Amino acid sequence: MTSVLTGVTGEIDPRLLEHRRELTGYCYRMLGSSFDADDAVQETMVRAWRSLADFEGRSSLRSWLYRIATNVCLDQLSGRQRRALPMDLSGQSWSPVEASLAATRPAEAWVEPVLDRQVLPEDGDPAERAVAKESVRLAFVAALQHLPPRQRAVLLLRDVLRWHADEVATLLETTVASVNSALQRARATLAGLGGAPEPRPLDADSRDLLERYLDAFERYDIDAFVALLHEDATQHMPPFEMWLGSAADIGTWMLGPGSECRGSRLLQTEANGCPAFAQYRPRAGGGHEPWALHVLEVEDGRIRHITSFLDLDTGLFRRLGLPPALEPEEQPSAGV
């Protein structure tokens, strides 16, 4: 079937497609879900394609697309509960026992991961890319969900995309004074939630740490694995409400309820501006099947936090474009 984004030649209009990645990043920050973001960008493209012939160039094509995308996101957010991470919803950590797996919430309750390659620019100014990486960090995206939708849009357009106040006012069909007021309130709310994350570029030591993480996990050497963590490291595992509050608890978990992960294979990637690993557990009959995407926060030479997004019949790996399985003869490779 021919896409609605194609013309008589059957080719997608390049004027629209060249903005797809940055629009996906914007919609992801607004919605907290890579899958909802994909839907929002598709809807944006459909609306733009239908109106492209009437576009009179009174603003740039990019600004026009952002106006459409913002309206799509605001429509999607109407009446929705905010997405969160388990540590935001639970008042205390869970004991690392099987009973901690009793409480789950549906997929739409959680902030979802996104691969860097889906939302970050491939090249360009290094400083701008660094800002973009920090603005998709899980903690920041979760904090954004506390803001009313229009405040969220204002903060992203002003502080992440660096639009001028008058440009944002035009996009939202409001006044500069209203934009400035919304930005002030949004910044105050984020400051109360811990503020924007600090840049954490990976150096040679960090890359060595990731290699040791992969090696320890695949050998299931839990002593070696725990040695890579800060003592107060944390881990949570959507869709379960549980989270673990120390390296010792994480080690106990892996030797207890998590012991079925023994024999897993890992593929290294990047997600939410951080190093990440796609984990494949042994599959009955041979090979390995998708299990979890681990997004790591590295700080001062050790791992501070692990968010393990489990692929429990959700199609997470498929929808992120990760390999659907590893067959017995396949060898993992970095950079998926």
Distance CA 158, CA 102 (A): 42
pLDDT at residue 204, rounded to an integer? 75
Architecture of domain 204-320: Roll (3.10)
Give one DSSP letter per residue of 243-272, joined into a string: EE-SHHHHHHHHHTGGGGGTT-EEEEEEET
Distance CA 66, CA 190 (A): 23
pLDDT at residue 142, rounded to an integer? 95
> CATH 1.10.1740.10 region(s) of the chain?
13-80
Q: Is 133 exposed, middle or buried (0-12, 13-18, 19+ CB in 10 A)?
A: buried
Distance CA 72, CA 69 (A): 5
CATH 1.10.1740.10 applies to domain 13-80: yes
Q: What is the mean pLDDT of the chain?
A: 89
pLDDT digits (tens, 9 = 90+) for 177-205: 999 999 999 999 999 988 777 767 677 77
Q: Which of 122-131, 174-183, 244-253 has the lowest mean pLDDT?
A: 122-131
Average pLDDT of span 64-79: 95
* Res. 1 pLDDT band, cuts 50 70 90: very low
* Res. 3 pLDDT band, cuts 50 70 90: very low
Q: Is 41 exposed, middle or buried (0-12, 13-18, 19+ CB in 10 A)?
A: buried
> CATH 3.10.450.50 region(s) of the chain?
204-320
Average pLDDT of span 234-253: 95
Residue 166 has pLDDT above 80, yes or no: yes
Distance CA 124, CA 322 (A): 25
Q: Which of 44-48, 164-168, 273-277 has the lowest mean pLDDT?
A: 44-48
Whole-model pTM: value is: 0.91
Residue 262 has pLDDT above 80, yes or no: yes
6 pairs with which residues across the strands?
12
**Alpha helix stretches (DSSP H) within 135-277:** 138-144, 149-155, 165-172, 176-192, 204-219, 222-226, 247-255
